[in-house]
Chains A and B, each alone.
Chain A
């Protein structure tokens, strides 16, 4: 019997497990497989800010005041700050340092040359902050199907950020027998001769550029060393741009969590799909994991659900549009009828942000108390020793609000405390 079982190996689950362990609990993580770390961009978005309210603390205060059911309002903004502090503890030993003052958002370029807002980003992303002036050289390996530097640069230029795009030769892509994934490229960048070659090529093409943007493939296991070395060889700051999955920055984060949990003696068990919970009155007795021979019960004092939402498997649906919380069958807060769930535009954004409304379906989830315990429609706690963290929560739209990472940071902290 453990003190805490965390279900889910996405960032919410991993952070909750770390924090629970740090508080002295005996913790175990059970997950179907690797979670969203491997598809996340790497930066940490907390909330979009507007031209009218550029201050992030101001925007957060305003947002929680007007959205009392939002996870930020329930968990409290101190939970967000403590979640961030815990994440830094996890990441620093692995050489990942986040930058950002939490007073204003960074504006970072995407691989397509669009812009996004992030409260924090790994330092290898920082020089891409578009609030800092300076000409940008966007560079990528020639012939790589996942990144088009000229497209990125043109789009940035069109928005008034002076940028040029260039490709550099990467013969390994052609001589290798197979497709190159971001991870394969990251491993190539870990080889000093390859870095030297790329840096030499780009140095001759800087012509006034004060920073160089590359796809986020600058090293995996030896990222910090790889990035510093490349920057030294180029003589100008180098920043990374999030690529298509699998996300190398996300894998670095996963590895940092894995190491931190291993140091704390927390088992991280994959391919352990929890089929259902064991309900004993208004408590969870444990969870059931079927294996090839039998169903095994894992008992715990507290169960933290970090199973994800509709896309992560924490919420399942059927062909009638019935939605169900996957482990305990907790009541879900689903706004409106299926007819109201979707807006016309795919990347429809929140009302507070220019243009459009969020897809209501993204607000679906489990409603919780201030301690992240699941509640019914009347606000009564249904299961005392269950806590919910991350995307399974109701009442927020990560895409529209730009709050995806902020919510797991805050709610993982609250759920584990």
Chain B
């Protein structure tokens, strides 16, 4: 199959991927990444990021067979890239190599059911749409043990994996039909913000989107909801770079006009945000002026709100809280390289005591922990975090990444929400007056 996109982008892609790969030469083999990797202690199927990353990179010649056997067990959490003091983009090297690995596997084992599964997990937007159409039925079927057993046996999607609940309605429908109709128009001089909600908020966690809209509007912003599609990360992390690139280009078309007008684009999910900010260029190799312009206008929601605070335009009329909430920083949040604006924001709420749990990864790493052969590894990675959260006795935790949230909730049995949901509540923006 020839992909016209590939023809257009291939030369650029090769050059950009080359840059990431070149960071392999910065590696001094100190093994700091291997000692920090959360997957290594959980399984002996993965030798460590240094080995499959900068070290194996020396053997990855274009056109030659890849030496990779264990690469597939890299969860892509990126802790290696974070801890590396020498600037090696270890996780990015691995992600690029995974795309090559997938191509080879598709060629050699086209009927392997894990390929079908990975395709499905890459298409979460489609799953959300289809499931939403028949939400009650889909939820019933997915809650049914034999269904999950069948999925595990046939596709290798673990029966214990944390699936969200489907909704009949979507966040977009709520925004355009219920919210906009029921709210007074924004003030003419209100600064505009475009909101990229991502698939999970649109189909599964509408309340996250509602809270973000409420907090932005409370602070005097006019929220715009651009046409958008899946950011492409689920495909990218399942090795389907071509599919991810198609999504990326569609988003560039849809969001480009907003970026061109200088309208900030805020993103609620840490992974979607990272995809728009850096992966389109760095990993998918879309090195166009439009991609750069988009990246410059994209803000993680907390980054945006914290900058607003620093500029003196965030309201701090919070209702004092007497509450302790454990917080887990998702891996992708750290890769934004923006510090910890969510914690900084939560610190503004009087009486609220939020504690970062101090663990690198919850294990799920996007779709990694959904896969049957990796489920136990993922759980073992997250176990210390789950125990710590459970040990606090709190009935609520915060995490700003969707699948991490579902994973932690599933494993600890407590409710896990997005930072802005807690802020909305502290502002006194109850679901009712959020319209």
A residues contacting B by CB (< 8 A) are 28, 30-35, 38-39, 176-179, 181-184, 187, 245-246, 251, 258-259, 262, 267, 269-273, 289-294, 296, 298, 312-313
Contacts and interface: CB of A to CB of B under 8 A. Distances in A.
B51 A179 contact: yes
Contacts of B47: 177-179
8 contacts: A33-B32, A34-B36, A39-B30, A183-B31, A183-B34, A246-B35, A267-B356, A271-B337
Given A272-B337, A292-B295, 7 more contacts: A35-B85, A177-B44, A181-B34, A267-B343, A269-B340, A273-B337, A296-B339
A293 B296 contact: yes
B278 interface: yes
Interface in B28-48: 30-32, 34-36, 40-41, 44-45, 47-48
Interface in B320-366: 334-340, 343, 356, 358
A299 B36 CA distance: 30
Nearest to A33: B85
A179 to B, nearest CB: 7
Given A291-B336, A292-B337, A33 B86 contact: yes
Contacts of A183: 31, 34-35
Interface stretch (B76-84, B101-109, B400-408): B76-84
Contacts of B87: 32-33, 273
A413 to B, nearest CB: 24
A270 B44 contact: no
Contacts of A176: 44
A38 B35 contact: yes
B299 interface: yes
A294 B296 contact: yes
Nearest to A10: B85
Contacts of B298: 293
Contacts of A292: 274, 277-278, 282, 295, 336-337
Contact of A289 (B40, B44, B274, B337): B337
A269 B339 contact: yes
Contacts of B337: 271-273, 289-292
Given A32-B85, A179-B47, A270 B295 contact: no
Nearest to B307: A296
Contacts of B81: 271
B88 to A, nearest CB: 9
Contacts of B35: 38, 181-183, 246, 251
B409 to A, nearest CB: 23
A33 B82 contact: yes
Contact of A34 (B32, B41, B295): B32
Nearest to A294: B296
Interface in B127-163: none
Given A177-B47, A292-B336, A270 B30 contact: no
Contacts of B83: 33-34, 270-271
A183 B297 CA distance: 42
Contacts of A298: 339
Contacts of A296: 338-339
Top 7 A-B residue pairs of the complex, sorted by shortest distance between their CB atoms: A33-B85, A292-B278, A178-B47, A291-B337, A183-B35, A292-B277, A271-B82
Nearest to A312: B85
A313 B85 contact: yes
Contact of A291 (B51, B338, B358): B338
Contacts of A312: 85
Q: Which of B31, B278, B299, B343: most chain A Cβ within 10 A?
A: B31
Q: Which of A32, A179, A270, A289: most chain B Cβ within 10 A?
A: A270
B30 A245 contact: yes
A285 to B, nearest CB: 13
Contacts of A269: 334, 339-340
Q: Which of A183, A290, A292, A313: most chain B Cβ within 10 A?
A: A292
A273 B84 CA distance: 11
A262 B358 contact: yes
B400 to A, nearest CB: 15
A16 B36 CA distance: 23
A176 B47 CA distance: 10
Nearest to B37: A183
Nearest to B336: A291
A246 B82 CA distance: 16
A271 B32 contact: no
Contacts of B335: 271
Contacts of B278: 292-293
Contacts of B282: 292
A293 B277 contact: yes
Nearest to A244: B31
B30 A246 contact: yes
Contact of B299 (A178, A184, A293): A293
Nearest to A28: B339
A290 B32 CA distance: 23
A339 B230 CA distance: 59
A272 B296 contact: no
A292 B340 CA distance: 15
B281 to A, nearest CB: 8
B296 A33 contact: no
Contacts of B340: 267, 269
A293 B297 CA distance: 7
B32 A246 contact: yes
B32 A38 contact: yes
Contacts of A34: 32, 36, 83-85
A178 B277 CA distance: 36
A272 B338 CA distance: 8
Nearest to A258: B358
B377 to A, nearest CB: 14
A35 to B, nearest CB: 6
B381 to A, nearest CB: 14
Contacts of A293: 277-278, 295-299
A272 B31 contact: no
Interface in B278-315: 278, 282, 295-299
Contacts of A179: 47, 51
Contacts of B356: 262, 267
A271 B36 CA distance: 14
Nearest to B299: A293
Contacts of A39: 30
Interface in B358-379: 358
Given A33-B82, A34-B85, A262-B356, A181 B339 contact: no
B84 A33 contact: yes
A284 B81 CA distance: 29
Contacts of B274: 292
B94 to A, nearest CB: 16
Contacts of B299: 293
A74 to B, nearest CB: 27
A289 B340 CA distance: 13
Contacts of B44: 176-178
Nearest to A35: B85
Contacts of A178: 44, 47-48, 51, 70
